[in-house]
């Protein structure tokens, strides 16, 4: 039942209640934009392991979770973190060292899979990937699939167009629906019931949210209901889909939140450097993740100067002339 008037709760509590060992999860945003980073760090601090992560293009959040050893299975289209790490470093290492089970899809396939989950249909059709190795190379074995009721028995299926050549296609790729146990997104504004307003690109957040059993929303601003209800055309997610609302200013940091702050290019660069070395990476997470009790403490450690340097210009929504190399 998602109609409670007040779903606000501390982030620690929301993560502890809805993200469990072995949960199938997805996180919102895209590469270095609007990742629910406060929640990602909280998952790592609570040492929640064996997660099954569904990702289209993930970046910062994905690499922190994989680096911390929280992910055991991954269905993914892209792991990259902008200029600092065109391929996510901990992701690449985990694959190269056989530390996780993984399976490749495209961005459109993953977006359609979330959409199918949101629509309650078993699959959606696309022409993407015909003739590619995505169809024939399964990351998860047939026996592993059959032994796990939460994983579909086959990866992708090419099926004949039941309408002949209608639409100019004789066959299509059926991409199976995803229904995560929990999706976590970070948005600019939410009210206590969970209605959300996202500024800028929504990526696939809306589909991910509507496909999920539980949804944790972290928000820059917790606003009164009338603020959102006066302009409902600007809202993307109605409260019925949302389970918990956590007010976490700078909850997307170090990724960008349009209209509020830019990505922290320096932080991402330092993270990429640490990620290349095992000891340096442990030291990094010990200091910035395990060495703090909350996102607020993390931000104190990052310092006011960094946050001021990435503050968004009100006109453009990003930090103009910010040093980014």
Partner 1 sequence: MDTSYTPKEIMTIMAAREIKNGDIVFSGTGISMLAAMAAKKINAPDSVIFFETGAMDSLLEEIPFAVADPRIMYWAAANSSLTDAFATMQNRITGDRVIAILGAAQIDRYGNLNTTCIGDYFSPDIRFSGSGGGCDVASFVPRCIAFMQHETRKFVKHLDYLTSPGQLTGNGAREKAGLRPGGVSLVVTNLGVMRFATDTGQMYLDQYYPGTTPGMILENTGFDMDVSRAAPADPPTPAELKILRENCDPQRLILGPA
Which chain residues interact with partner 1 by CB under 8 A?
Answer: 29-34, 56-57, 59, 76-80, 82-83, 86-88, 91-92, 95-96, 98, 104-109, 111-112, 115, 127-134, 137, 139, 158, 168-172, 200-204, 206-207, 256, 258, 262-263, 265, 312, 316-318, 320-321, 324-325
Is the distance from CB of 82 to CB of 110 less than 8 angstroms? no
Is the distance from CB of 213 to CB of 247 less than 8 angstroms? no
- Shortest distance in whole angstroms from residue 173 CB to partner 1: 8
- Shortest distance in whole angstroms from residue 168 CB to partner 1: 7
Q: Write out the E strands in 155-199.
A: 157-160, 171-176, 182-190, 196-197
Identity of the residue, 8 or 208, whose beta carbon is nearer to partner 1 in the bound complex: 208
Antiparallel, parallel or unpaired: β 123-126 and 101-104: unpaired
CA dist., res. 9 & res. 129, Å (int) = 42
- Shortest distance in whole angstroms from residue 311 CB to partner 1: 12
Identity of the residue, 181 or 205, whose beta carbon is nearer to partner 1 in the bound complex: 205
Is the distance from CB of 214 to CB of 246 less than 8 angstroms? no
Identity of the residue, 128 or 221, whose beta carbon is nearer to partner 1 in the bound complex: 128
Distances (CA, A) of 43 to 108, 193, 210, 251, 294: 27, 23, 22, 13, 11
Identity of the residue, 129 or 249, whose beta carbon is nearer to partner 1 in the bound complex: 129
- Shortest distance in whole angstroms from residue 237 CB to partner 1: 12
- Shortest distance in whole angstroms from residue 99 CB to partner 1: 11
């Amino acid at each position: 039942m998602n109609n409670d008037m007040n779903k606000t709760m501390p982030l620690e509590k929301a993560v502890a209640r809805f993200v469990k060992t072995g949960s199938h999860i997805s996180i919102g945003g895209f590469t270095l934009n609007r990742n629910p980073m406060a929640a990602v760090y909280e998952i790592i601090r609570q040492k929640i392991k064996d997660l099954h992560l569904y990702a289209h293009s993930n970046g910062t959040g994905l690499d922190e979770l994989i680096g911390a050893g929280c992910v055991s299975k991954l269905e993914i289209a892209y792991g990259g973190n902008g200029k600092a790490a065109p391929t996510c470093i901990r992701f690449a290492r985990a694959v190269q060292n056989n530390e996780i089970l993984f399976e490749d899809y495209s961005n459109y396939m993953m977006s359609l899979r979330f959409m199918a989950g949101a629509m309650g249909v078993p699959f959606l059709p696309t022409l993407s990937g015909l003739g590619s190795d995505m169809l024939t190379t399964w990351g998860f074995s047939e026996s592993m699939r059959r032994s796990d009721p939460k994983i579909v028995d086959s990866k992708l299926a090419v099926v004949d167009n039941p309408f002949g050549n209608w639409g100019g296609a004789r066959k299509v790729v059926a991409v199976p629906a995803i229904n995560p146990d929990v999706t976590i997104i970070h948005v600019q504004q939410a009210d206590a019931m969970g209605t959300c307003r996202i500024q800028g690109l929504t990526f696939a957040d809306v589909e991910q949210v509507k496909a999920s059993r539980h949804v944790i929303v972290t928000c820059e601003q917790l606003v009164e209901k009338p603020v959102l209800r006066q302009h409902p055309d600007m809202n993307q997610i109605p409260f019925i889909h949302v389970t918990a609302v956590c007010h976490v200013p700078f909850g997307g940091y170090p990724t960008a939140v349009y209209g509020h702050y830019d990505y922290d290019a320096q932080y991402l660069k330092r993270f990429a450097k640490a990620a290349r070395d095992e000891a340096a990476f442990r030291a990094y997470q010990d200091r910035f993740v395990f060495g703090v009790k909350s996102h607020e403490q993390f931000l104190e450690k990052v310092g006011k100067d960094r946050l001021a340097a990435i503050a968004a210009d009100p006109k453009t929504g990003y930090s103009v002339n910010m040093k980014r190399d």
